[in-house]
Amino acid sequence: MQQLIETIRALQQVVAASKADQDKILAEVQAEQTASQNRFQDDLAVSQANNEELSRVNEELRRDLQRMGEHTTDEQTPPIPVRARPMPFSQAIMDTVIPANFMGPKISFTGVEDSEAHITAFHTQMMISGGTDAMYYKLCMGTFSSTALDLFISLPDGHITSFDQFSTLFKEQFIVNQVPTPVTFDLFYVKQYQREPLKGFLNRFGALVVKLYAKDKGMMVHAFRRGVLPGPFSDSLIRCRPKTFNEIRRRVVPTSVQNKR
């Protein structure tokens, strides 16, 4: 029994010592936390003071710069406008104002089309819309895109002074795109396709006649007879030979109507 009592007393002493150690450790932790909080408060106060000082210095600099600007405003000269990039037109052309309600030609040239046909189409639409000669330059260049636009922007500044010069330079730059001028003998290469309506062949043949301004009426008739497919209409041309291409046109119309029926 005495031994049990001593064992209990020993355990009580161990528990008491452990509690004392725990209290000591807790006190040390609380002291460290208090010290950390104090250091944080001190650092925060220092940071706030630095920020206030920086704000004050910045405000003083801003005021100094503002005062300097007020003193030099009257001495400054307005900036000279600089053209974003060189333009091939003369200054007189660049100064031309296009009215806001003016309808320019609705065509486009990328660099692969026929340059001669483009200039012709542009001239035709401008004649219909009107406008001054100076407007031709800007509006014509406004129809360019892709390679064509890059080429003309790369020309020397103020290089172009007349529209004749402009159109000549344009056609020369893209001369490889121009369709060769047809000759009268080209009529013999126009052939009627298999199953192509007679009226369709007549329209293709007539379109080339218009481009040629052909004068030899006998040659036109002969070329048409060589190009049309064998059949009743071809036989009629042999039986009753027409003298002019217009006579052939008049014969095709009734034939087309009969074929539809």
Instruction: Supply the pLDDT for residue 113.
Output: 84
- Scan for tokens 């091939």, then name that residue: 88
Give the global pTM. Answer: 0.43
d(CA 133, CA 110): 23
Least confident of 41-55, 128-142, 247-261: 247-261
- Burial zone of 195 (CB within 10 Å; 0-12 exposed, 13-18 middle, 19+ buried): exposed
Q: Give CA–CA dist 68/90, Å, rounded.
A: 42
Extents of the domains making up the chain: 1-76, 91-177, 184-260
Q: Are 121 and 50 in contact (CB under 8 A)?
A: no
- Of 179, 45, 25, nearest to 114 by C-alpha is 179
Instruction: Count how many residues are written for the chain.
Output: 261
**Over 60: is that where the pLDDT of 71 sits?**
no
Residue 56 has pLDDT above 80, yes or no: no
With bands split at pLDDT 50, 70 and 90, how would you rate the model's confidence at 58? low
More confident residue, 191 or 14: 191
Q: Which two tokens stand for residue 204?
A: 């293709």
